[in-house]
Amino acid sequence: MSNQDKDNNGYSSGSDEDGDGLTFEKLLSSDKWEEYFQELSKTLDVELSVYNMAGEQLFLFNENPFCRYSKSVQAVSLDCPKSCHDLWKSDAHGLFKCQAGLTCFSFPLERFNEKVCIVGRAGFSAYEDLLNFLKIVRDNNLPELPITMPFVFLEKDAVMDISNYISLSIDRQLGNVEAKFKLEEKLLRLMSLFDSQAFGTLSKNNQLMYRYVIDAIEFVFGKSAEAVMVISEDEAVFKTTYSTGKYKDTISDLTLDINNPSVKKMRDTRAAVFIEDSADLAAAGQLKETASAYFLPVFIGEEIDAIICIVDREFSREDRKILNSFREYVQLNLENQNLRQTVAKNRKSDEKLTYLSDITKSIVSILDKERLFNTLLEKSLQLINAEQGSLMILDNETSELVIEARKSSDDMVQEHMRFKKDEGISGMVLERGGSLLVEDIEKDPRIRKVNRPRYRTKSFVSVPIKIEDRLAGVLNLSDKIKGGIFNAEDLNLLESFVNNVAIAIERSILYKQTEKLQKLSITDHLTGIYNRRYLNRRLSEEITRYNRYKHPFSFMMLDLDKFKEYNDTFGHIAGDNLLKNLAHVMEKSLRTIDIAARFGGDEFVTIFPQTPKIDAIQISNRLKEKIDKSLSEHNIELPLSISVGLATFPDDASSIMELIEKTDQALYLAKKGGGNRVVYL
């Protein structure tokens, strides 16, 4: 990826001086990827190693027993691991046979301008290879092989198939992660620009406002060539008022007639227009030197207030989605400014438009989906003085409308009820894509239905909710507080409000996705408690706290005795359920200030903040009692117990690594002593 590409994609894959950038080593060292490699190696029954560009082995999964033996005896005739050491330098995908006779494979991976090499060791491809290995052992009087497992001999073609499968699987996973990271980073950057105060100040001067919009786009998506076009006062044409970038001079004279096909398309669809055909570019304006143009209209009400033109730049579907969210937010603020100006001319309108502006500002900041939907419905009812209503969102997976918020006089309509999207009045609104204002449900030729008893009046209004050019739901309101019918003024107010509702809904969904990604990064996917990454961060914080206040803290590590036997007897699903239950008991039994995390496999750890050893011993013993009780209740057929190791900072260690090592040493002593006990240093 070139530097220009990195700028265009809005993220950097170089050095990580500020600690926030994503590097290949960082990605592969995550708990999720370690578990992925572990599962991949176990499923295919091969050893997998990962080497960085310096030739350092980053990870080793499912170590081959013959490799382990060869390393342990350090025989010159086996020359392990030296015979495999330079594989990381390979730029090709290939097979080889090591000095011990094992069939191996290697292939490079490159992401973020970093290269790693995957090395796999599958085993012997033929019985003769095994015999040669045993001959080396006998001829060199090496220790007896501690290997009793049955042997499966894989021919080279089978090993190559495994290698290709692993390569494709990892590449596919990396592609997904890379795409998610780019989207998340751009989203977070764009969210940081959503400063209503800055918009409030700049919206007083449209020239400054649109320069800020271009600066924001360049900040998120990288440098390009852009222009701002506004309608001329004396001509029916859009003219450039500000341009920047490589084609600044070319696009400074750019004009678009209001009847230009691109302008008509923007007006009809209320969406951006992307042009990449040279003939269409010539028709669009003076863009002969450029290869493509992206026209982004900014509406105020039903009219285009300005067109942002970005030339020689393609946007992905995700980029367009984020860019359109920003455009909608700009429109929202400009429309609010226009509403405030209109307010000064009409006192009656002043009350409602000010209210609309205020509630829009309050809603934009709401990110919780349930609270957002209920607030949107409540404010809509207040806006046009209605008593009953429902907010329905389209579930694209099931093609059903789901009631996400409601207010009614009875319980006939409940939240989360589902309706087919082509049924009823809401289905009609969704199909048409336009609002429905009904004065009398029984007389309106589009409806002609008998009014239901739960509705006090026969008038109602239904407005579709659109996100970009996609229909996302329907807002239904009925029963004027003082009786009477809904009118065009009510509908206009509601439609203006609903345009802003779509922005809030989109932001809530994007925020939820980001929040989920952030939570996944610090929690263990199986048990739901904190993972090793979060644990390391908290240990650093505790050491910093000790350096300031001199409060010691303790660190506990436990694992299940006979867990492998349990897995072999009852299966991995039962083993996973056992780990989930253990994590639940830990969280329920520990103090509020304690931090429980999964260390890996069946090992769990806990930080006891501001807790000297004498108190930590008591807490650990109480925790062990509760876990033992839970294990005895749920595992009658195979009694289980836990072993616990405990150490205290700074009594037993002076660094994070030393504290972990000391605690692990205590756990080892507990296991060596027969298990089912707490050992502390």
- As its CATH architecture, domain 196-339 has 2-Layer Sandwich (3.30)
Question: CA of 163: how far to CAs of 85, 86, 124, 157, in Å?
Answer: 19, 18, 15, 10
Tell me the pLDDT tens digit for each residue of 531-561: 988 899 899 999 999 999 999 999 999 999 9
Tokens of 78: 């086996």
Residue 202 has pLDDT above 90, yes or no: no
Using pLDDT thresholds of 50, 70 and 90, give the confidence band for residue 356. low
Is-contact 389 407, C-beta < 8 A? yes
Q: What is the DSSP letter of 256?
A: E
Q: What is the structure's pLDDT at 118?
A: 87
Tell me the pLDDT tens digit for each residue of 474-497: 999 999 888 889 998 888 888 888
Between 225 and 93, the more confident residue is 225
The Cα 474–Cα 465 span in angstroms is: 5
Between 126 and 364, the more confident residue is 126
Is-contact 285 254, C-beta < 8 A? yes
Using pLDDT thresholds of 50, 70 and 90, give the confidence band for residue 211. confident
The string of DSSP codes covering 126-155 is SHHHHHHHHHHHHHTTPPPP---SPP----
Between 579 and 362, the more confident residue is 579
Tell me the pLDDT tens digit for each residue of 368-409: 677 878 888 888 888 888 999 998 888 877 888 888 888 887
Kindly give, in sequence order, each residue whose CB lies less than 8 Å from that of residue 421, ignoring residues fewer than 6 positions away.
394, 399, 400, 401, 427, 430, 431
The Cα 218–Cα 446 span in angstroms is: 48
The Cα 315–Cα 292 span in angstroms is: 11
Residue 68 has pLDDT above 70, yes or no: yes
Element of type H or E holding 224? none
Is-contact 38 61, C-beta < 8 A? yes
Residue 24 has pLDDT above 60, yes or no: yes
Question: CA of 193: how far to CAs of 56, 190, 216, in Å?
Answer: 41, 5, 7
Sheet holding 595-600, edge to edge: 595-600, 603-608, 553-561, 641-649, 678-680
Total residues belonging to the chain: 681
Kindly give, in sequence order, each residue whose CB lies less than 8 Å from that of residue 303, ignoring residues fewer than 6 positions away.
none
Tokens of 376: 């949107």
Closest CA to 112 of 15, 29, 17, 219: 15
Strand 641-649, strand 678-680: pairing: parallel
Tokens of 149: 């497992």
Q: What is the structure's pLDDT at 222?
A: 81
Tokens of 641: 């117990």
Task: Tell me if domain 346-518 and domain 532-680 are identical in fold.
Answer: no
- As its CATH architecture, domain 346-518 has 2-Layer Sandwich (3.30)
Using pLDDT thresholds of 50, 70 and 90, give the confidence band for residue 84. low
The string of DSSP codes covering 374-392 is HHHHHHHHHHTTEEEEEEE
Q: What is the structure's pLDDT at 19?
A: 39
Question: CA of 397: how far to CAs of 394, 401, 402, 420, 421, in Å?
Answer: 9, 11, 12, 12, 12
Q: Which residue in the block uniquely carries the two structure tokens 């285009």?
A: 304
The Cα 431–Cα 425 span in angstroms is: 10
Kindly give, in sequence order, each residue whose CB lies less than 8 Å from that of residue 243, ignoring residues fewer than 6 positions away.
225, 226, 227, 228, 249, 251, 252, 254
Checking 239-247 for CB contacts under 8 A at 24+ apart, the result is: 240/309, 241/207, 241/210, 242/207, 242/210, 242/211, 242/214, 244/214, 245/311, 246/312, 247/289, 247/290, 247/311, 247/312
Residue 88 has pLDDT above 80, yes or no: no
Q: What's the whole-number average pLDDT of the chain?
A: 81
Between 146 and 269, the more confident residue is 269
Residue 360 has pLDDT above 70, yes or no: no
Residue 312 has pLDDT above 70, yes or no: yes
Mean pLDDT of 279-296: 72
What HEC string does 642-666 produce? Answer: EEEEEEEECCCCCCHHHHHHHHHHH
Coil vs helix vs strand at 607: strand
Spell out the CATH class of 532-680.
Answer: alpha beta
Tokens of 561: 């005795």
Mean pLDDT of 611-630: 95
Tokens of 461: 């209004």
Residue 666 has pLDDT above 90, yes or no: yes
Closest CA to 437 of 459, 405, 466, 454: 459
Of 112-116, 280-284, 363-367, 610-614, the least confident: 363-367
Residue 511 has pLDDT above 60, yes or no: no
Tell me the pLDDT tens digit for each residue of 653-663: 999 999 999 99
Please state the φ and ψ torsions of residue 527, each to the nearest 5 degrees. -95, -20
Residue 15 has pLDDT above 70, yes or no: no
Kindly give, in sequence order, each residue whose CB lies less than 8 Å from that of residue 359, ignoring residues fewer than 6 positions away.
379, 382, 383, 497
Using pLDDT thresholds of 50, 70 and 90, give the confidence band for residue 199. low
Residue 449 has pLDDT above 70, yes or no: yes
Between 153 and 676, the more confident residue is 676
Q: What is the structure's pLDDT at 2?
A: 36
Residue 509 has pLDDT above 60, yes or no: no
Kindly give, in sequence order, each residue whose CB lies less than 8 Å from that of residue 174, ignoring residues fewer than 6 positions away.
27, 109, 111
Q: What is the structure's pLDDT at 7?
A: 38
Kindly give, in sequence order, each residue whose CB lies less than 8 Å from that of residue 586, ignoring residues fewer than 6 positions away.
529, 596, 604, 606, 623, 627
The Cα 402–Cα 416 span in angstroms is: 5
Question: What are the boundaries of each domain within the chain?
Answer: 3-189, 196-339, 346-518, 532-680
The Cα 411–Cα 556 span in angstroms is: 53
Q: Which residue in the block uniquely carries the two structure tokens 């090592």?
A: 661
Closest CA to 421 of 432, 411, 410, 413: 432
Between 518 and 93, the more confident residue is 93
